[in-house]
């Protein structure tokens, strides 16, 4: 039996309020002051500016900035891939950087082949009749057949 602290009446153990006066028979259980969890606002991932620059330079390297644009596309592309890998998911644009790198490397390769062909033709390493006639026509000297 529980005695009511307010009126002194006896009450069964299972009661929370006095059946005589309605006063609480037990001390109220303190409510925990645990704060509700705070969730940080998630930022939407953004596209890497270096990845976009790599793609733009890769395209311009083919049309407006030959060789310089290709080299810049390669530099920006590698910088973007490193930046994206270190961002922990905050940055996107890996595909843009890859396309910029591909365009840049192909552009540099085409330039390297062009320079190699010019050197081979200019030095006269290629001595086939077609090249000799072509070089002679360019220089204005008769061909040596």
**Model confidence, pTM:** 0.58
Helix, strand, coil tally for the chain in percent (to 5) = 50, 5, 40
Encode pLDDT of 86-132 as tens digits: 998 899 999 999 999 999 999 999 999 988 888 777 665 666 767 66
Encode pLDDT of 30-65 as tens digits: 666 677 777 766 778 899 999 999 999 999 999 999
């Amino acid at each position: 039996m529980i005695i009511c602290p307010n009126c002194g009446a006896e009450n069964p153990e299972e009661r929370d309020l006095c059946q005589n006066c309605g006063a609480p028979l037990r001390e109220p259980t303190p409510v925990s002051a645990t704060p509700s969890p705070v969730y940080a606002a998630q930022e939407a991932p953004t596209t890497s500016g270096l990845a976009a620059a790599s793609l733009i330079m890769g395209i311009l390297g083919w049309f407006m900035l030959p060789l310089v644009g290709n080299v810049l596309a390669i530099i920006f592309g590698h910088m973007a891939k490193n930046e994206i890998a270190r961002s922990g998911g905050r940055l996107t644009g890996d595909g843009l950087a890859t396309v910029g790198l591909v365009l840049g490397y192909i552009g540099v390769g085409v330039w390297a082949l062009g320079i190699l062909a010019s050197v081979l033709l200019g030095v006269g390493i290629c001595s086939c009749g077609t090249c000799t006639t072509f070089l002679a026509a360019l220089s204005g000297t008769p061909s040596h057949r």
